[in-house]
Structure 1
Amino acid sequence: MQPDKKQTSAEMAQVEKIIGLILQIGVLVSAMIIGCGLLLLLFTGHSGYSGQNFPTHFDTIFQGLLQLKPFAIIMLGLFCLILTPVLRVAVSIYAFAKERDRLYVIITSAVLLILLFGMVLGYLDI
């Protein structure tokens, strides 16, 4: 094997480890945040919101976090869980660029744009 191929293989192995670590950390952090929200919900006995209301936008989630409302904490955990695979797609673009695989860079970039577009549409309630 040529030195460039050995170096590329080593870099790709490192990127794959990083991607795996991102997924593991993202899921663990999300689970811990959701767990804290659930514990707070169990101890307080209320969600922090009246009726069937719960925070769905960033501003209401962050306002609820400042007031330690259990549903806001749970929603933050869910938001982190949703962002985990999006971050994985972004890191994959870097990995494909390192391999000089233009087709997969283009495809993965399109996937990232679709994910971001969908998130923006969801945020805007469209």
Structure 2
Amino acid sequence: MTPEMKKEIDDIEKIIGKIMQIGVLIAAFVIVVGILDLLITGSTGYPIGVHPHAPGTILQGVMQFKSYAIMMLGIFLLILTPVLRVVVSIYAFIKERDRLYTWITTIVLIILIIAMVIGYLG
């Protein structure tokens, strides 16, 4: 492995670490905003027993500044953070020319996507 490749791989690993840190911080911030809104308004923004689950409904609730939708967005962002890490890892393995781990990580990404779709469809 050339020194340039080693430096690029090290940079990618640093980017992966930053993605995880920033993703968790943004998700936590969004959740805290939703909790503060809930505490200030005393309402989730929805009738009792009604909760947004679909991404479109969540985004619509966020645009209307409904506290429950804001908290759900934060949780959604928290779930997407490791998925983004898997995507960046695929890129890193491609750069390393590591075919085995590229395929394994791609399969993991496909499984994650299938699980999300199954979860969404219920």
TM range (shorter): over 0.9
Coordinate RMSD, CA, aligned: 0.9
Give distance in 1, aligned partners of 2:14 and 2:49.
42
Give distance in 2, aligned partners of 1:51 and 1:42.
16
Mapped pair 1:123 → 2:120: yes
User: TM-score normalized by structure 2?
Assistant: 0.96
75, 85, 91: which is aligned to 1:78? 75
Partner of 1:54: 51
Give distance in 2, aligned partners of 1:66 and 1:89.
29
Give runs of aligned pairs for residues 1-126 of structure 1, distance below 5 A. Answer: 5-125=2-122
**Which whole-Å deviations, capped at 9, do the CAs of 1:31-90 have from their partners, x for residues lacking one?**
110010000000000111111321111121122112110000000010000000000000
Looking at CA atoms only, which structure, 1 or 2, has the larger radius of gyration?
A: 1
Give distance in 2, aligned partners of 1:112 and 1:15.
18
Task: Provide the identity percentage.
Answer: 56
What amino acid maps onto 2:115 in structure 1?
G
User: How many residues of Structure 1 are paired with residues of Structure 2 in the alignment?
Assistant: 122
Stretches of structure 1 lacking an aligned partner (at least 5 in a row) = none
Please list every run of at least 4 consecutive aligned residues from structure 1 whose deviation after the TM superposition is greater than 4 angstroms.
none
User: TM-score normalized by structure 1?
Assistant: 0.94
